[in-house]
Structure 1
Amino acid sequence: MAIPARSRPSTPRPAKPRCRYPTAPPRSSPPLWDGSALERRPLPLGEAVEALTYDLLTATHDGWEDGDGAFGVLVLDVSGRAVRLEYNERYTASDYYEHDF
């Protein structure tokens, strides 16, 4: 016995936004050791994302590398042209008070 296929009304799907990808590799511009100029050099995409991650971490959470194991995610929304840093910081806190009166 054949089961009839359900007919669904055909609804057009919204078109996905198209992104133009760069044809050249990203370029990095780190300062020279003496601060006299910037060094311009091509950077593989993975290294560019890693450098961006460390730059954003340093700008928003100075000392992020210290502590008890911070973790997070860097979200790159290419079509929305947005970057979001999700950061979780772990630390051990100890408060000690002593008062002599």
Structure 2
Amino acid sequence: MAEELHRARDETLVGDTRPRPRPVQVMNLHQTKGREADTTILLLADGEWYGNESEPFPNNSRLLYVVMTRARQQAHLVVPANSHPLWAPLIAALE
């Protein structure tokens, strides 16, 4: 059991270069903190956002920054036609 726990811990450490047993991991925004991946994909639903902030969304902007900087090589953002204003600056920068 202890060996399995050590292996599981080692597989989740940032910078681990061994092949992943599960190459695709699905996480919420908060779970991405402190982790990295070769490619990240952020999928958003209509009007989706996190929290009760108003513009300029200081806390949620920091969370978005954390999410989008987890990618070592590529980051993709998939947004609906009716996205929340929190995402607007990022969408504009990518267009």
TM-score (norm 2): 0.21
TM-score (norm 1): 0.20
Larger Rg: 1
